[in-house]
Amino acid sequence: MTETTIPAALRLQAKWCQDLGSPLTAALLAAAAADFDHAGITRDLLADFPHEPVAAALALRLAGALHHAVLAGRDNELAKFYPSAGGRFDPEVDGPALWAAARASLEADSQTIRSILEHPPQTNEVTRSGVLLGGFLIIAQRSGLPLALREVGASAGLNLLFDHYYYDLGSDAGSRTWGDAASPVRIRSLWRGQPPDLSVGAPVASRAACDRHPLPIATAAQRHGLEAYVWPDQLDRLQRLRSAMELAHRVGVTVEAVSADEWISRELAQLPAGQVTVVYHSIVRQYLPDAVRTSLHETIAAAGERASRAAPLAHLTMEPRQQGGTTQHRLELTLWPGGRREPLAEVHPHGNEALWLET
């Protein structure tokens, strides 16, 4: 890995953050890239990073580590610029002061920062349920069966509770709603194109999940581990996450700490009759080691060969893909018997909108 690879990755993520509505994170990462170029603290912390920096989301790890310092109360100076902690950031004037405070935090708290950088981001973006919902509805409609949910890379398991949320699904035909109107978790997703039928329902027979490093959310300190990866100037996302964590803690969600390939091999050893087993994941594939990713897909395909109309299997994915030199995100479905892979929608990476394709 050359040293220029890391600042390039920081600048690329800065552009994505700017495009996705986080000028604070964009300014922070652009300044970190410049600091790396000038052999500052960023180079000291990141130069020996052992993985490909874009695929491993190194920039998000760095931003998350700084946000964690703010949320945990370890850096009151940096907190002055973080709306998530009651601060204020003006991208027109506060960029240099923001980086000065961030650099001081990196220097003073380098040991904790390094430990956080070792782990992939745990975003558990709840709004992705606004896209996954459409996939679950299509699966329920085609199979006519309740869903046995099996989520890979579930983090704290918040998207396992998709049916506990309330959705406002704006569309070309006007606003439509789905879910529990009394839910504290309100999800807004703009559905365009050929959206799924909301009248079919998506009853859940069972739910289970795995993650190599699941995050506990029983205490405020534990919840900072998830909150840190929400961009600090996107308060709606942060409040939605906090509401979902409170709901998940109250309902009770278990995420097993185990490798995805090992877990899914066990979970798919026998497909239950009278249910459709749904293996799904969202923005997870890039974090899996190559061997685990290969084993996972081979196991799912082998289970698909054993599926029947009485015990079908679905593989629903919301993952990035390269298209014409750009990164796009797509919701795709494979349903067995049959096993044909089909795109369902082009989607926003946070789930804010979906362009549903004709299926």
- Domain edges within the chain: 5-117, 126-356
Euclidean distance between CA atoms 180 and 152, whole angstroms: 25
What phi and psi values does residue 154 have, to the nearest 5 degrees? -85, -5
**pLDDT given at position 322:** 79
Distance CA 92, CA 108 (A): 27
Closest to 276 measured CA to CA, from 301, 308, 300: 308
Q: Can you tell me whether residue 342 is helix, strand or coil?
A: strand
Report mean pLDDT in 10-residue bins for the chain, 359 residues. Answer: 75 96 98 97 94 91 97 96 97 97 96 92 91 98 98 96 95 79 96 92 97 92 94 96 96 95 98 98 92 97 98 97 83 97 96 92
Question: For residues 149 and 87, is the Cβ–Cβ distance under 8 A?
Answer: no
- The pLDDT of residue 173: 57
SS3 category, 68: helix
Residue ranges of the alpha helices (H) in 47-94? 58-71, 76-79
How far apart, in Å, do the first and last CA atoms of the chain sit? 42
Q: Residue 286: what pLDDT? A: 86
Are 122 and 156 in contact by the 8 Å Cβ rule? The answer is yes
C-alpha gyration radius of the chain: 21
Report pLDDT for 2. 42
| One-letter amino acid for residue 24 of the chain | L
Question: Residue 4 has what pLDDT?
Answer: 54
Q: What percent of the chain is helix, strand and coil (3-state, nearest 5)?
A: 45, 20, 35
**Prior bond of 121 cis (ω within 30°):** no
Write down the pTM of the prediction. 0.88
Residue 81 CB partners (closer than 8 Å, separation 6+): 24, 87, 88, 89, 94, 97, 98, 101
Spatial contact of 354 and 190, defined as CB atoms under 8 Å apart: yes
82 vs 105: CA distance, rounded Å: 14
Round to whole Å and give the CA distance between 64 and 66.
Answer: 5
148 sits in which H/E element: strand 147-152
Please state the φ and ψ torsions of residue 15, each to the nearest 5 degrees: -65, -45
Exposure string for 126-150, b = 16+ CB within 10 A, e = fewer:
bbbbbbbbbbbbbbbebbebbbbbb
